[in-house]
Every structure is written in C-alpha cells, then in structure tokens.
Amino acid sequence: MIRFNVFRNIRWATAASLAIVTIALVGTNQRWVGGVAHAAGVVNFIATDDVGPWFQCVGAGCVPAGTESLAVVQPGTDVRITVGNESNTVHTFTSLLFPKGAQQMPFDQPSAFRNGSRSVTLTDPGLYVFVCKVHPFMLAATIVDDPATAGLDLGENVSLVNGVTVPTSSDLATRLLRAFWLITSPGNYQDHNPATNPALTWNINYPAGVPVRITGGAVVDLKATLEARYGANVPIPGPFNPAQTGVGEVWVDLQYEKTSHKSKPGTAIAVDATNWKVTKRVALPEINMNNPHNMWTDRDQKVIYQTQWFDTKFTVFDRTTGKLLENIDVGESPAHVMTRVDTDQVHVSINGEDNIVELSPGGKHIERRLATQYVGDNPAQPHAHWMSHDGHVMVTPNSNTNDSTRLDIPSGDIVEKTPTGFLPIASGMMPDASKYYVSNYVDSTITCISIGAPACQSAGGAVATKTIPVLLGGSGLANYDPIGGSGFSTSGALPIQTPVSPNGKYVVTANTLSATITIIDTATDTLVKVLPCSAGCHGVNFGAKKGGGYFAYVSSKFANDLIVLDPDPNDNGDPSDAQIVGRIILATGDNNDVQSDDQVTAHAGMGGQGVLPIPVVYNGWVQKLPNQWKKLLTSKQKNPIP
Ligand SMILES: [Cu+2]
C-alpha cells in the first residue's frame, strides 16, 4: 500500500501565508486510485472564466494533484468538455500534446463553441494536453494509464499538434509538464513583491510520491525529476525603479486580479511613469468586468478602450476618473483594440468569431464589421491585429486557420491571405507599413510578411515572407536543444505580443513558456538579443522615455511585476545593447494612494496581459496627439521616421 500526499492550494496566497489542504489518497499499484481516479466511461471538464482551472475537471477520474485540471483514466475513456453557464463566451477543445501516433489525434473543431459539449475517446496510453485556441492558457490534461504497467504512463514520445515530437524523457516534455502545474494552479504564480515574499524565492508545488513511466519504460518520480531539472525555491528578482523616468502613464490589464464586489476576475491599473507608482485601479464591479485583456485610447487620450476577453462586451471608461462610459455587445471573446488614425474609429478583434468590429469614435455604437476570411471558409478567430500609420492597412493573426489576413480598411476588402505557423496570435507593423510580423504560438516562430514589395530581409536580399525562428533551428540564439535542454534561456518559446518599435528599428516579443524577451533587428530580420522575463511573459508595448528614445513595458500573466526594458539605451538603432532597467510591482494591497473602485481579494497584481502606455507614440498616432502631450516629447519622438 502506498500513500500519496497531494498538496492543493485552495486559494491564492503569499508564500508566507500559504493556505494548504492535505488530501491523502490511498492507492495500490503505484497510481492514483481510491475512488476518484481510473474512471472508465467519461471524464468531464467544464470551461470557466476563473483563474487557474479554466478547464475544470469534475467528477470521476479527476485527481486533485495541486491542480484542478488533471484526470487519470483507463484506456477507452471519453474526455468531454462542456461549455455552459460557468463561462460567458466560446472556447475550443483542441489537442495540444498527445502520445505520438495516438488514435483520434489531433482533435479539434471547425470553430469555437458555447452551450454544448465535445468529446473524444482516448485509447492509447500516455499524456494528453488540451488547449483552447482562443484563450491558449486554458489547459486540461489527461493521463491514460495502462493498468498493466508500473507508474502512470506518460508514453514513449509526445507530439505537439504542429508535429514536433520528442521523447517524454526530453527537456521539452518536462518543460511543458512544469508549465501545466504553473499555469493551472494560481498558488504557483511568481510573487516578486518583497512585502509578501521576503525571501524572493519561487516554487512550483508538484504532487509528491507520484511515479511516472517515461521513455524506455523508465519509472521516475515526477516531483523529484522536475525539481532536479528546474530547481525548487529558486531566487527571483525584486523590484527597482528605472534611473530615468518615462512620459505619461502605463496601463496594464491585470486579467487575474480579483476584487470583492464582482464574481469575474480582472482589473486595469495605471502606473505613473514619472514616479513609477501605481495610481489607479479600475475593476468596474457594476458590470462585473470579465477578464479585461487589452486596451487602447482615443486621439485625445481621454478614455480607455477595454476588451473583456471571456465575454462579449467592449467597454469604455474615463482614463482620469475610471468612470464607466460604455459597455457594448460586440461578439464572442473581444480580444484586442486599436484606433484608426484618420477617423479615430475603434477596431476590436472578435477572437471567438470571424471579424473585426468597427465602432464610432468613443466606442458608442457599431458601424461596420470587417470579415477576416472569405465566404465559406472557417472563421479566422483573429486575436491581436495591428493597423497602419495612415489608417488604411489592417493585419490579423488568425488563431483558428493558421494564416494572416491583410485588409484594406476603407473598403473593408481582404487584400491578401498569407499562411503562417501554428496558432498565430499577435502582430506588429513597421511604421511605414512596409512589412509586418506575426507571432506563431505553438511553432515558436515569427513570420515576417511584406506589404507590397518584398521587404523581409534575408541573406540573399529582400523576400516576400520569412519565418524567423525564436526557439529551434537558429545559431547561437534560438538554438534550443529540446532533448538535452541547452539554449532554452537564449530562445523564445510560445511567443505572444510582438510590436515593432515606433522608429521601426526592432521587434520586441514576449515569450510565455521560456519567460524570455526576444528582440529581432528589422534591418536583418534576425534574432539579436534575448533577455529574461517573468513567468507567463505576455504583453509588450512602447512608451516614450523622457528626453528621447523609448521604453518597452513588458507584462507577465503568472507574475505580479511589470518589466521596464530599455531596448536601445544609446538610441543608435541597434538593440543588441538592450537591458532591463526597472521592475515595478503591480500588487498594491490596501494602498490608499491608489484611486480604486473595488478592493482586491485575490491574485493581487497577477495576470498582466494588455499594456498601454499613454501617450500613444506610434507613427501616425503620435502626430495627432493634443499639444499637452506633444510638448512632453522630443522632435524625434514626434516624427519617429523622418
Ligand atoms: Cu477559450
């Protein structure tokens, strides 16, 4: 008889006050049994808008192994996802990882859905991880265990849905396992605040005493293996202010921060770039604001345009007072928002559907919908679009169709569709609209796509499109060995936001799995610099540095800090001397200096996603700023590409 002690954090808390419930599961044959596991038939997950168990396992087969998103089942079990009342929007249930060659794999749907279930029968033993392609931190894992073998079967080799296949003993396989325990359990998120984590260490709690069967039939202890590879109680950096100040303020969506007067998570906060203090928090309890994801502002910089990614609402509030101005139904999973510089109209990507919605200035009403795919094609499900300096060109990364759409905004016509890598998620455009960049989440690549004449740089000259590796296949940088693990910290894995600097010199990308910031030089379209980021590195946007140049502000989902990156300290256009110059804590506690409409109850400072520095300093937008903002900028900042 073997006794497993499985630690389960029932609420997010600081390391000093960690609330732990010990659940003893009694089992035989070295695997989770004892009434909760090894269900034959069906194992159920439900989609939620909550933090951590986005795909929450319910009922027989679920194992409370420090996560609520894991099941252990017998071969032949159906895995079922149900999207119902626990979520306000659509989702997909897509195989991200599965045993090499497994029957029924890959598994996906033609489009995201709500109010219903989808299921798939898992026959081959091994590890399966499912993801939502709309919200790709939603994870559900199922281990199909052969009762005849020792240890829980992870399988010989696992395949990512894009075809990359590695042994379960490999560094990449255990990196992904580690990420599963990080992402699905908020108690494992990174606390960079010395007030609540005085030791400034970080630990991921894996279940103890769980033998797993990996490549070659080896049976190893899960926790011991992960801790031997990646450490336990590892030191993490604390806060420090940049020596230089910025201009204006920096808004950050804390998508996971919970407050007392609403059931859905998420706040938007403002950091004053002249003193690096958090000054405002907007939770909007009167509308139960649900997972605020990304922001933009109007020409006058007076309002904040706010998407609710797990809902159907687009919201506008006053930037100074935080007062709600508009809350309008736009469609499923509104993700990113930008304005059109020539009209000041507002464009919101409808990530769960098939279009970009165009609203009147101020976001008061819907004026038009721009289709992101041709009639009859599967919905593109566009995530983070970008728009040009003249308001005429829009590009979308289409998370459902592995391509990118270029639109002519005045006519609304699709001009071009270009294949990308797997699960394209974000885009950034050159200030002269000569080319744009799309981050491919699953492939860990960036696709450069020319707009018009070939503008993507390669050794042999300019080309129409180019795939830039940030993880695999590079030399020096992006030269990760997925088996042995070398080169991970000098690569980017699972890239997300990827804006081009306002002067067009470089592209800064936040990579969520590797927790790194990668920088591409647009003169060569090659990776030239990699810097460390925080857990769940996600959002990037550029703001003005006082006296000239730019800061890139970088947010992280599974951490409570905002990184201030100086991408080009000597402002010579070469980002190879980029450095992290500040780290701001976004958890404010009961700080009375913060103007707020609700009290934080959990996940303080966590869930950093959209970043919006005010004033907007991108080419096209910067020229239209009111004088009160323009006068704070240098002539070079006011005309970023002379
Ligand atoms: Cu989703």
Q: Model-level pTM?
A: 0.93
Ligand 1 mean position, distance from CA 114 (Å): 10
323 CA → ligand 1 middle, Å: 28
The answer on pLDDT for 32 being more than 80 is no
Distance in Å, CA 381 to ligand 1 centroid: 11
Helix, strand, coil tally for the chain in percent (to 5): 10, 40, 50
The contacts of residue 411 (CB under 8 Å, 6+ apart) are none
CA of 489 to the centre of ligand 1 (A): 29
Q: What angle do CA 581, 586, 589 make, to 5 degrees?
A: 140
Report CA(438)–ligand 1 centroid distance (Å).
20
Say how many Å lie between the CA of residue 310 and the centre of ligand 1: 7
What's the pLDDT band for 142 if we cut at 50, 70, 90? very high
CA of 134 relative to ligand 1 center, distance in Å: 5
Q: What is the 3-state secondary structure (H, E, C) of 125-152?
A: CEEEEEECCCCCCCEEEEEECCCCCCCE
Burial pattern 331-341, b for ≥16 Cβ within 10 A else e, equals bbbbbbbbbbb
pLDDT, residue 212, reads 96
And the tokens for 297? 């502002």
Task: Give the pLDDT of residue 590.
Answer: 63
Mean pLDDT calculated for residue range 283-291: 98
Q: What separation in Å is there between the alpha carbon of 333 and the centre of ligand 1? A: 8
The residue among 16, 104, 51 whose CA lies nearest residue 256 is 51
Residue 355 has pLDDT above 50, yes or no: yes
The residue with tokens 């993507």 is: 456
Measured in angstroms, how far is the CA atom of residue 133 from the centroid of ligand 1? 6
Amino acid 176 reads L
Q: How far is the CA of 577 from the centre of ligand 1 (A)?
A: 38
Say how many Å lie between the CA of residue 417 and the centre of ligand 1: 24
Q: Which residue has the higher pLDDT, 93 or 12?
A: 93
Query: 640 CB contacts (<8 Å, ≥6 apart)?
Result: 431, 502, 503, 504, 617, 618, 619, 622
Cα separation, 263 vs 49, in Å, equals 10
Summarize the confidence of residues 540-556 as an average pLDDT.
98
Cα 22 to ligand 1 centroid, rounded to whole Å: 31
Instruction: Report how far ligand 1's centroid is from the alpha carbon of 91 (Å).
Output: 4
Tell how far the Cα of 479 is from the centroid of ligand 1, in angstroms.
31
Give me ligand 1 centre to Cα 78, in Å: 20
Packing angle of the helix pair 171-184, 222-230 (nearest 10 deg): 100
pLDDT range class, residue 593, cuts 50, 70, 90: confident
Choose among 280, 326, 287: nearest CA to 303.
326
| Consecutive H or E run containing 636 | helix 635-638
Å from CA of 139 to ligand 1 middle: 9
Which among 120, 65, 98 is positioned nearest to 168, based on CA atoms? 98
Rounded distance from Cα 52 to ligand 1 centre (Å): 13
C-alpha 271 – ligand 1 centre gap (Å):
29
| pLDDT one-digit tens code per residue, 612-641 | 999 999 999 999 999 999 999 999 999 999
Q: How far is the CA of 102 from the centre of ligand 1 (A)?
A: 24
Asked if pLDDT for residue 13 goes beyond 80, the answer is no
Distance, in Å, from the CA atom of 635 to the CA atom of 199, rounded to the nearest integer, reads 45
Distance 434 CA to ligand 1 centre (A): 33
Task: Decide which of 32 and 375 is more confident.
Answer: 375
* pLDDT at res. 358: 98
Three-state SS string over 284-311 comes to CHHHCCCCEEEEEECCCCCEEEEEECCC
Looking at residue 591, what is its pLDDT? 66
Q: Where are the beta strands (DSSP E) in 557-639?
A: 561-566, 579-585, 595-596, 600-602, 608-614
Cα 359 to ligand 1 centroid, rounded to whole Å: 24
Q: Which of 2-11, 34-43, 468-477, 520-529 has the lowest mean pLDDT?
A: 2-11
Mean pLDDT of the chain: 93
Q: How far is CA 586 from the centre of its chain?
A: 17
Find the 90 Cα to ligand 1 centroid distance in Å.
Answer: 6
Contact between residue 346 and residue 355 where contact means Cβ atoms under 8 Å apart: no
How far apart are the C-alpha atoms of 230 and 2, rounded to whole Å?
26
Find tokens 């080319």 and name the residue.
435
Q: What is the mean pLDDT of residues 251-272?
A: 98
The pLDDT score that the predictor gives to residue 216 is 95
Higher pLDDT pick, 394 / 593 = 394
Smallest Cα–Cα separation from 263: which of 625, 602, 606, 560? Answer: 602
CA of 47 to the centre of ligand 1 (A): 8
In this prediction, residues 367-385 reach a mean pLDDT of 98
Q: How far is the CA of 121 from the centre of ligand 1 (A)?
A: 21
Q: Residue 177: left if φ>0, alpha if ψ -120 to 50, beta else—which one?
A: alpha
Q: Which of 108, 131, 183 is nearest to 379 (CA)?
A: 108
Q: Using 50, 70 and 90 to split pLDDT, how confident is the model at 150?
A: very high
Residues with CB under 5 A from ligand 1 (ion): 91, 132, 134-135, 138
Tracing tokens 């609710």 back to the chain, one arrives at: 308
CA atoms within 13 Å, Cβ hemisphere of 353:
19
How many CA atoms lie within 13 Å of 134's alpha carbon, on the beta-carbon side?
32
Q: How far is the CA of 498 from the centre of ligand 1 (A)?
A: 21
Q: How far apart are CA 302 and CA 362, in angstroms?
A: 10
- Count of other CB atoms within 10 angstroms of residue 473: 12
**548 Cα: distance to centroid of ligand 1 (angstroms):** 40
pLDDT over 60 (residue 21): no
474 vs 34 pLDDT, higher one: 474
Q: Hey, which residues does 5 pair with through a beta bridge?
A: 24
Q: How far is the CA of 575 from the centre of ligand 1 (A)?
A: 35
Q: How many angstroms does the Cα of residue 309 sit away from the middle of ligand 1? A: 9
Q: What is the pLDDT of residues 162-220, one digit of tens each?
A: 999 999 999 999 999 999 999 999 999 999 999 999 999 999 999 999 999 999 999 99
169 three-state secondary structure:
coil
Helix, strand or coil for residue 209? coil
Each residue of 492-523: pLDDT tens digit?
Answer: 999 999 999 999 999 999 999 999 999 999 99
Q: Are 326 and 315 in contact (CB under 8 A)?
A: yes
Ligand 1 mean position, distance from CA 92 (Å): 6
Q: How confident is the model at residue 118 (pLDDT cuts 50, 70, 90)?
A: very high
* Residue 272 buriedness (CB in 10 A; 0-12 / 13-18 / 19+): middle
Q: CA-to-CA distance for 214 and 579, rounded, in angstroms? A: 40
Q: Cα of 582 to ligand 1 centre, how many Å?
A: 33
SS3 for 422-463 is: CCEEEEEECCCCCEEEEEECCCCEEEEEECCCCCEEECCEEE
Chain segment 323-345, per-residue pLDDT in tens: 999 999 999 999 999 999 999 99
The span from the CA of 501 to the CA of 505, in Å, is: 6
What pLDDT is stored for residue 642 in this prediction?
82
Q: What spacing in Å lies between the alpha carbon of 483 and ligand 1's midpoint?
A: 30
4 versus 368: the higher-pLDDT residue is: 368
Give residue 112 CA to ligand 1 midpoint distance, Å.
8
pLDDT above 50: residue 132: yes
E strand residue ranges, 216-284:
219-221, 234-235, 249-254, 258-259, 267-272, 277-282
Closest C-alpha to 43, from 74, 65, 67, 64? 74
Which pLDDT score is estimated for 40?
60
Distance 618 CA to ligand 1 centre (A): 30
**Residue 26, pLDDT above cutoff 80:** no
Tell me, in angstroms, the distance from the centre of ligand 1 to residue 423's CA: 13
CA 257 to centroid of ligand 1, rounded, Å: 18
Could you tell me where the DSSP H helices lie in 54-188?
Answer: 171-184
Q: How far is the CA of 131 from the centre of ligand 1 (A)?
A: 8
How many angstroms separate the CA atoms of 254 and 444, rounded?
A: 25
Average pLDDT, stretch 298-302?
A: 98
C-alpha 615 – ligand 1 centre gap (Å): 31
Q: How far is the CA of 54 from the centre of ligand 1 (A)?
A: 8
CA dist., res. 529 & res. 576, Å (int):
6
What is the distance in A from the centroid of ligand 1 to the CA of 176?
19
Q: Torsion angle of alpha carbons 527, 530, 534, 535, nearest 10°?
A: 60
Residue 2 reports pLDDT greater than 60: no
